[in-house]
Amino acid sequence: MADKKLVGQNYTTPDLRAKVTGRSKYAEDFRAEGMLFARLLLSPFPHARIQSIDTRAALAMPGVRAILTADDVPGPKDQVSDAGVVIRANPRSEKALTNEPLYQGEPVLAVAAVDELTAVEAIEKIKIRWERLPFSVDPVASLLPGAMNARVEGNVWVRPTPVQGQPAPLPEVIDLKWTEAEVEEYKAGRLPMGKDTDPSWSYGDIEAGFKKASLILDETFVTPNTSHQCLESRTSMAYWQNGKLFIHLSTQSTVQTVMSVVRWLSIEPENVVLISEYCGGGYGSKGTGTVSDVIPALLAKKTGTPVQMRISREEEHSIGGGRPAVHGRMKVGFTKEGRITAVDMFTVVEGGPYGPGNDGNTASRFASLLFQPEAMRWRGVTAITNTPPRRAQSQPGGMQGIVLMEPVVAKAARRLGIDQVEIRKINAPAGKARFGAADARGNRTYTTSCFVKEALDKGAQIFKWDERKARNGQREGSKVRGSGVAISAYNAGSVGFDGLFVIKPDGRMYIQTGIGNLGTESFSDCQRVAAEMMGMPWEKCELTWGDTSRNLPWSCVSGGSQTTHAMTRAAHATATDAIKKLQQIAAKDLGGRPEDYVVANERVARRGGGAGMTLAHAAQRAIELGGMYDGHEVPKEINAFTKRSAAALAGQGLMGVAKDAYPRDGASVSFVAAFAEVEADVETGVYRILDYLCVADVGTVIHPASLGGQVLGRSILGIGHAIGQRWVYDQQYGVALARRFYQNKPPSILDVPAHMDWAAVELPDPETPVGARGIGEPPVAAGCCAVLNAISAAVGDEVFVRAPVTLDHIVTALEMGRPTQARLTANV
Amino acid sequence: MTVQEQTPQEPSHVSRRTFIKVVIASGAAVSASAYLFRGPTLLGQGSLPGAVERLMTLNVNGQMRRVDVMKQETLAMTLRYKLGLTGTKLGCDRSECGACTVLIDDVPHYSCSILTHTVRAKKILTIEGLETANGTLHPVQQAVVDEQGFQCAFCMSGFIMATVGFLKTNPDPTRAELAHGISGNLCRCMDYDKILRSMMRAAQYMQRTT
């Protein structure tokens, strides 16, 4: 290791100067010679079928070059995974354009013209005969007897049980309606625990657990849904040259997005050049691009001209998708000491038109992990709605599961007279904590490590929890304060990706990164591990990112908090490979055994002093030696993508290239504990968040500034869900009413506490060589629940049955003595 | 910040209402933001009564730029697509997010909601105009670099311009005053804590340099 540590230190990321000077180019900032502009025609109806399209008048307009309809879009193709498993294409999956729109705002055709005005004029001249079809924008309403379904075939997804050794069967759609008894339950404000259609799971004996309990809470709650509202809408620009597609996209990932484009267009990966050096926010919705991104590519092919498609703010509302609301019923048993004996959980997911997603299952897995119930059962239904497609949104599913569970635990602690931090520590996971379903052999998966109790202790100390909780419920005039705590967790790392760098005879280290630059800075942060191991000063490292023609290695999807874990492992493996090569070169030239040499301070030299050479000289030697040293031979286990990149860079210096093959025992999960204090006015219902703290258990800290940004930034995303963000739909016409920022406003700088803080537990993960995991996801539920729990600490338990909680909910509930929010309806 | 800046010698009095009407008349209301007029003659649009001269000179970042502007064209469109100044971002195109904030005679404005014709004879400053010719960053830019502020940074140029403008009127703000001063801008990465820290540091840097 170098004397000067890079890991754990703040530094200026290589993209920042371009960002502050306005030189950073996002997808919409590119122009190509002769470029055409595309605009979309979106469905005005929540569900309809196109009977005919008359484009004659539009095509006759001067300046109109092409019209693309669903018939021009290739169908989804089966995929073969790296392991050789066939993944069958779902014919019911989302396509770039459709003849049967399933939500208002779904793209049905696109026009390319010499300018946007002409394209818009042309769209107005297109005549479409529509057949309007029944629709539903509310999952619960569609379960009532006689209600309309969102799809012609039904309203609920079912997933047939997979057969060993065969491709996973395709999901099917059925018509599911509640029985009379279930409808009665619904009318009483409780989610019926009726027929379940998702693949359910359970462990332990829940009946025995409830028998043992001295307090059983049975709560129905609706979690909030909202759009991602990326400030940069999903624009794309494309052209074809020599049979190759050049595509500029707003996407979170770089190399992984190539694979989406390949699948959507049925072309080969080597024929795609993807450029995405900057991405103006994704939050999960631009994980590997969006299917509509390929519309300009298809129009460019049709016209032989570059085409750009800008997406407007309203279009972004529909195409960009959102987080599904989850209607949940939680029956939870507690001993009088606060230990959770049993959980019976039922979810109805508002799944949008395409899917099925996995939110119900993920919700239940993280509820089981965080509170370690002695026995648990989860059952669920994924309902289909004519609302925008559901895309992953920071902590997908996990956020909803924790939002269902946390308020129940807070209420139980108050009923049982147990401190809120204490009840969480009593139930919290530790070490190799098991969670979720048992496999066929009865084994349950477990975490690599967890230090959530340590996070709670550290947070309670920094936040001065004991002082603050003494103020709970105390009135000062019309003002009352409350403090809340919440814990949260999410998957935080994958394995098995590649790294690639070259140290050249100029003494510099040229690092290739296939990680997307979506604002997390992990594209650069992870590479600090390799630089530190190579003893290279960061100033002598040059990063290449965001353009797949520039020889990038196979990297993970830049989303789901995977990257820091996955790509620090890959960086570690790659540096290890390069060090081995340097030791061999030194031993060849200077004598002795390779293991006598160490790499430090830009040199490879004998341990304890003595003969050595600079890395610049070693790089020259690597070129002379050839073979594996300069990248002419590469390990056979690396991905084909990395092989192509390595071949292009071979012969320029000493190459480090490797796949992460380190073992890992368990699932990598990151945890947070969050604390919030609110002050509510019981006369007006207005409340403010006074203070907020989030403590993260993410293992080793790689880059404090970017970690802090993620922890607090994602916390505020969650706080937005608690204080006001939601979708609103007109149930009569099935159209969105809250499509713009002012209608569904994300928190502004004035909505967040004047004081916010974060900290890290800083205990390394034992199952990964660098000890680091990702963090983007867990703060979302923590921010949301810390605020919800603080509200109930201030104004009592009988105030809300769903989030967000607004001032009118508080003031009317206090007046009536019961919650006044709409129960069991999404999108109100 | 959406107040229309009127130029006294402006031949046509372009109110917000007229602006919206013109945008609708041009068919742009179908989408949130139709733009670009690479082939403006194609549509053969007739002049409205009181139409203005199309070829105009704009003072942008201290340079006089000649540009052909349509009457319904917003300043954001002119800057991004006619003058190539793409550091100014369009996040909403309707005065909601602030990503397009530029300074007009030292005052922050949403350039998506300013007609280009109303800013002739005014000084326009965009993110590209902050750095000096020898590559020295403006103190606000330097503060962002030093705090590693912002994440995806799509909102960044708007926030920086809003801060530059705000600090001209209040060079020594409290954290709360500064937050209020730049609350017309949204950051969806919600990096508000680092943004405020960056901008407070910027205020310090500005005091040091003046």
What is the tens place of the pLDDT at every residue in A696-751? 999 999 999 999 999 999 999 999 999 999 999 998 999 999 999 999 999 999 99
Instruction: Give the distance from residue B9's alpha carbon to the nearest chain A alpha carbon, in angstroms.
Output: 29
For residue A379, the surrounding DSSP H or E stretch is strand A375-383
ipTM above 0.85, yes or no: yes
In this prediction, residue B44 carries a pLDDT of 43
Judge: B188–A229 Cβ closer than 8 Å, yes or no: yes
Q: Is the peptide bond before A804 cis (omega within 30 degrees of 0)?
A: yes
Q: Measure CB to CB from residue B87 to each of A22, A62, A521 and give the nearest one.
A: A22
Per residue, the 3-state secondary structure of B48-112, as one string, reads CCCCCCCEEEEEECCEEEEEECCCCCEHHHHHHHHCCCCCCCCCCCCCCCCCCEEEECCEEEEHH
In this prediction, residue A291 carries a pLDDT of 94
Q: Are A710 and A776 in contact (CB under 8 A)?
A: yes
Contacts of A549 (CB under 8 A, 6+ apart): A273, A275
Judge: B183–A756 Cβ closer than 8 Å, yes or no: no
In the three-class reduction of DSSP (H, G, I as helix; E, B as strand; rest coil), residue A605 is classed as strand
Digit-coded pLDDT (tens) for A172-225: 999 999 999 999 999 999 999 999 999 999 999 999 999 999 999 999 999 999
**Does B114 contact A at CB distance below 8 Å?**
no
In this prediction, residue A161 carries a pLDDT of 83
Q: Measure CB to CB from residue B43 to each of A118, A282, A754 and give the nearest one.
A: A118
CATH number at residue B59: 3.10.20.30
Same-domain pairing of B91 and B120: yes
* Cα-based distances in Å from A287 to A260, A281, A282, A825, B149: 10, 10, 7, 29, 23
Q: Are A83 and A6 in contact (CB under 8 A)?
A: no
pLDDT of A673 over the 90 cut: yes
Digit-coded pLDDT (tens) for A235-263: 999 999 999 999 999 999 999 999 999 99
Q: Which of B80, B103, B128 is the last residue of a domain?
A: B128
Judge: B145–A20 Cβ closer than 8 Å, yes or no: yes
**Nearest-CA neighbor of A405 among A733, A821, A781, A153?**
A781
In this prediction, residue A755 carries a pLDDT of 83
Instruction: Give the distance from residue A748's alpha carbon to the nearest chain B alpha carbon, in angstroms.
Output: 6
Judge: B190–A752 Cβ closer than 8 Å, yes or no: yes
Helix axes A359-371, A398-416, angle to 10 degrees: 40
Q: Are B193 and A756 in contact (CB under 8 A)?
A: yes
**Does B24 contact A at CB distance below 8 Å?**
no
pLDDT of A101 over the 70 cut: yes
Distance CA A813, CA A801 (A): 11
Higher per-residue confidence, B26 vs A495:
A495
Contacts of B93 in chain A (CB under 8 A): 312-313
pLDDT of A433 over the 80 cut: yes
Determine the average pLDDT of the residues in A138-165.
92
pLDDT band (50, 70, 90) for residue B80: very high
pLDDT of B8 over the 50 cut: no
* Cα-based distances in Å from A245 to A81, A265, A343, A639: 23, 10, 52, 21
**CATH 3.90.1170.50 occupies which residues in chain A?**
31-134+228-319
Contacts of A229 in chain B (CB under 8 A): 188
Digit-coded pLDDT (tens) for A6-53: 999 999 999 999 999 999 999 999 999 999 999 999 999 999 999 999
Q: Which residue of A has its CA nearest to B154?
A: A280
pLDDT band (50, 70, 90) for residue B52: low
Total domain count, chain B: 2
Identify the burial level of A78 via C-beta atoms within 10 angstroms of its C-beta, where 0-12 means exposed, 13-18 middle and 19 or more buried: exposed
Distance CA A582, CA A604 (A): 7
Candidates 3.40.190.10, 3.30.465.10, 3.30.365.10, 3.40.250.10; CATH matching A326-493+666-816:
3.30.365.10
Same-domain pairing of B196 and B93: no
Same-domain pairing of B160 and B197: yes
Tell me, what DSSP letter sits at residue A158? Answer: E
In this prediction, residue A91 carries a pLDDT of 85
Digit-coded pLDDT (tens) for A539-559: 999 999 999 999 999 999 999
Same-domain pairing of B190 and B105: no
**Does B150 contact A at CB distance below 8 Å?**
yes
In this prediction, residue A826 carries a pLDDT of 74
In this prediction, residue A4 carries a pLDDT of 56
Q: Tell me if B46 is assigned to some domain.
A: no
pLDDT of B32 over the 50 cut: no
In this prediction, residue A79 carries a pLDDT of 74
**Does A60 contact B at CB distance below 8 Å?**
no
Distance CA A650, CA A652 (A): 6
**Nearest-CA neighbor of A101 among A39, A43, A41, A173?**
A43
Q: Which of B73, B107, B128 is the last residue of a domain?
A: B128
Average pLDDT of chain A, as a whole number: 95
pLDDT of A281 over the 60 cut: yes
* Cα-based distances in Å from B120 to A451, B36, B54, B136: 61, 20, 11, 29
Same-domain pairing of B72 and B154: no
Same-domain pairing of B109 and B21: yes
Q: How many helices (H) and strands (E) does chain B have?
A: 6, 5
In this prediction, residue A609 carries a pLDDT of 82
**Does B50 contact A at CB distance below 8 Å?**
no
Tell me, what DSSP letter sits at residue A500? Answer: E
**CATH 3.30.365.10 occupies which residues in chain A?**
16-22+496-659, 326-493+666-816
Digit-coded pLDDT (tens) for B91-115: 999 999 999 999 999 999 999 999 9
In this prediction, residue A752 carries a pLDDT of 92
Tell me, what DSSP letter sits at residue A171? Answer: P
Residue type, A423: I
Digit-coded pLDDT (tens) for A561-620: 999 999 999 999 999 999 999 999 999 999 999 999 999 999 999 998 889 999 999 999
Same-domain pairing of B101 and B22: yes
**Does B26 contact A at CB distance below 8 Å?**
yes
**Does A163 contact B at CB distance below 8 Å?**
no
For residue A54, the surrounding DSSP H or E stretch is strand A48-54
**Nearest-CA neighbor of A101 among A57, A137, A132?**
A132
pLDDT of A504 over the 90 cut: yes
Contacts of B27 in chain A (CB under 8 A): 117, 120-121, 124
**Nearest-CA neighbor of B180 among B163, B164, B197?**
B163
- Enumerate the β-bridge partners of residue A345: A330, A378
pLDDT of B53 over the 70 cut: no
pLDDT of B5 over the 50 cut: no
Tell me what percent of the residues of chain A surpass a pLDDT of 70. 99
In the three-class reduction of DSSP (H, G, I as helix; E, B as strand; rest coil), residue A499 is classed as strand
Q: Tell me if B101 is assigned to some domain.
A: yes
**Does B201 contact A at CB distance below 8 Å?**
no
Same-domain pairing of B62 and B115: yes
In the three-class reduction of DSSP (H, G, I as helix; E, B as strand; rest coil), residue A269 is classed as helix
Q: Indicate which of B151, B195, B196 best probes the interface with A, i.e. most A CBs within 10 Å of its own CB.
A: B151
Through-space distance between the first and last CA atoms of chain B, rounded to whole angstroms = 27
pLDDT band (50, 70, 90) for residue B210: low
**Nearest-CA neighbor of A123 among A45, A234, A36, A42?**
A42
The superfamily CATH assigns to domain A31-134+228-319 is Aldehyde oxidase/xanthine dehydrogenase, a/b hammerhead (3.90.1170.50)
Same-domain pairing of B75 and B168: no
- CA B10 to chain centroid: 20
Same-domain pairing of B123 and B148: no
Q: Report angle CA A297, A303, A305 to the nearest 5 degrees.
A: 70
The structure tokens 């959770």 sit at A340
Determine the average pLDDT of the residues in A65-71.
97
pLDDT band (50, 70, 90) for residue A83: low
pLDDT band (50, 70, 90) for residue A169: confident
Question: CA torsion sign, A169 to A170 to A173 to A176?
Answer: positive
Residue A762, sorted as left (phi over 0), alpha (psi -120 to 50) or beta, turns out to be left
- Domain around B87: 16-29+54-128
Distance CA A572, CA A526 (A): 9
Judge: B195–A706 Cβ closer than 8 Å, yes or no: no
Candidates 3.40.140.10, 3.30.365.10, 3.30.70.20, 3.90.230.10; CATH matching A16-22+496-659:
3.30.365.10
pLDDT band (50, 70, 90) for residue A81: low
Q: Which residue of B has its CA nearest to A309?
A: B34
In this prediction, residue A166 carries a pLDDT of 79
**Does B112 contact A at CB distance below 8 Å?**
no
Which segments of A147-286 are extended strands (E)?
156-158, 172-174, 201-203, 215-222, 236-241, 244-249, 272-275
Digit-coded pLDDT (tens) for A605-641: 999 888 999 999 999 999 999 999 999 999 999 999 9
Distance CA A103, CA A319 (A): 10
In this prediction, residue B209 carries a pLDDT of 76
Q: Are B115 and B73 in contact (CB under 8 A)?
A: yes
- Enumerate the β-bridge partners of residue A343: A332, A376
Judge: A20–B160 Cβ closer than 8 Å, yes or no: yes
**Does A461 contact B at CB distance below 8 Å?**
no
In this prediction, residue A610 carries a pLDDT of 85
CATH number at residue B187: 1.10.150.120
**Does B152 contact A at CB distance below 8 Å?**
yes
Q: Tell me if B10 is assigned to some domain.
A: no
Question: How far is it between the farthest Cα atoms of chain A?
Answer: 87
pLDDT band (50, 70, 90) for residue B25: very low
C-beta neighbour count of A820 within 10 angstroms: 18
Tell me what percent of the residues of chain A surpass a pLDDT of 90. 92
Q: Which of B70, B103, B128 is the last residue of a domain?
A: B128
Q: Which residue of B has its CA nearest to A278?
A: B152
